Amino acid sequence: MKRTLVFCMVMVLAMFFASASEARRMRGPHGPVDEMGGCVDKRVLKNLEKLDLSDAQKHDIAVILKRHREELKNVSDRLREARMQLGKEVRADEFNADAIRAAFRQMAEHGEQMVLLRAGMLHEIKGVLTPEQVDALRSKKKDVTERGRKRMDRGFSAIDRWIDTYGK
């Protein structure tokens, strides 16, 4: 029973921190990258700018972004709303597992649409790049992944400290 309670508390804390992190990231009416009109990752664009693209490559990438801009905005808006609904269900006064599951499924569906859209766009963008530029982009992604892993580890170490301090 005690383990179940601790596990539930850890999960609630993890959901809270994830929601708070997402809320902090959300700036503007359309999410973290409002100037793009959708949820294209700013890091990808910044990394593309560092690749010494030719004018023709920049134009081709702009065409790809423009072609997907409206769909990105729509999917981003739906995903943001689904995340907000999940947060409301998690923070509700009464615990309702079915409502949380339903909200999570809705968020997962929109998240899947976003991942597929972004992956398709990235595939199109890679078609514009030289093999060397693709390799450079991949190496930058590895750096970002490692930083994300370290951030997660810090979050779990905070949970471990809480358990060690108050779980005795």
Residue 129: Cβ within 10 Å count: 18
Residue 111: Cβ within 10 Å count: 16
Q: What is the pLDDT of residue 10?
A: 58
Q: What is the pLDDT of residue 1?
A: 62
Give residues with Cβ within 8 angstroms of 128, minimum separation 6.
57, 60, 61, 64
pTM of the model: 0.64
pLDDT tops 70 at residue 88: yes
Residue 124 CA to residue 72 CA, distance in Å, equals: 15
Domain boundaries, given as residue ranges, for the chain: 2-166
pLDDT tops 60 at residue 31: no
In degrees and rounded to multiples of 5, residue 38 shows phi and psi of: 180, -160
> Measuring CA to CA, how many Å separate 148 from each of 12, 155, 160?
21, 11, 18
Q: What is the pLDDT of residue 138?
A: 84
Q: What is the pLDDT of residue 19?
A: 57
Give 97-110 pLDDT, tens digit per residue.
999 999 999 999 99
In degrees and rounded to multiples of 5, residue 96 shows phi and psi of: -135, 95
165 band by pLDDT with thresholds 50, 70 and 90: confident
Residue 74 CA to residue 76 CA, distance in Å, equals: 5
Closest CA to 40 of 55, 61, 54: 61
